Amino acid sequence: MEIKQMFDSLERILEKSKIGVLSTIRASGQPSMRWMTPALLRGQTGFLYAVSSSEFAWTQSLAENPQVEWMIQTAPLQEIMFVKGRMQVIDNPALQADVQEAIGGYLQTFWKNIPDESSLIVLETVIEGMTYFRPTAGEKISVTIS
């Protein structure tokens, strides 16, 4: 499977699921996972976006530990995509608007838990590798993105 096909698979799985699990490393060195709503944006190939709050402790540790991994899957677990990369906070109002437009309808729980709306930040994962896994078929394909 070529890189373009991997991105096509990621897009298809995201369209079905709308959510993923994000794994990060806290400042203490301990792993941490949370449900997130990621998005791919047209014209931004090689990046996965999400929003969070600058008030959340885990986002503050990204500067020290930017390596992350996403797990995004279809509900019946027929397709699973693992995405590895470096996450950074993006300070770009236009991009923030694009990301909110792409995933805004799926953030009801997020808005209930954010301390202050002005603390909203955009998180960009620079994708370094992906693994596509179909457990029922025994298929597992990985690509590295340079």
Residues 112 and 66: their CA atoms lie apart, in Å, by 26
**How does the average pLDDT of the chain come out, rounded?**
91
As given in the structure block, the two tokens for residue 143 are: 């690509």
What's the pLDDT score for residue 117? 78
Q: Classify burial at 88, counting beta carbons within 10 Å of its beta carbon; exposed 0-12, middle 13-18, buried 19 or more.
A: middle
Q: Per-residue pLDDT tens for 76-114? A: 899 999 999 999 999 888 888 899 888 887 777 777 777
pTM: 0.91
pLDDT given at position 14: 94
pLDDT (mean) for 62-68: 94
User: Count of domains in the chain?
Assistant: 1
Domain span at 106: 3-144
Strands (E) across 26-119 are located at 31-36, 47-53, 67-73, 80-90
Q: Determine the average pLDDT of the residues in 113-132.
A: 89
Element (H, E) at 11: helix 3-17
Residue partners of 44: CB distance under 8 A and separation at least 6: none
Residues 6+ apart with CB under 8 A from 50: 22, 36, 37, 38, 39, 99, 103, 122, 123, 125
CATH number of the domain to which 38 belongs: 2.30.110.10
Q: How far is the C-alpha of 18 from the C-alpha of 34, rounded, in Å? A: 14
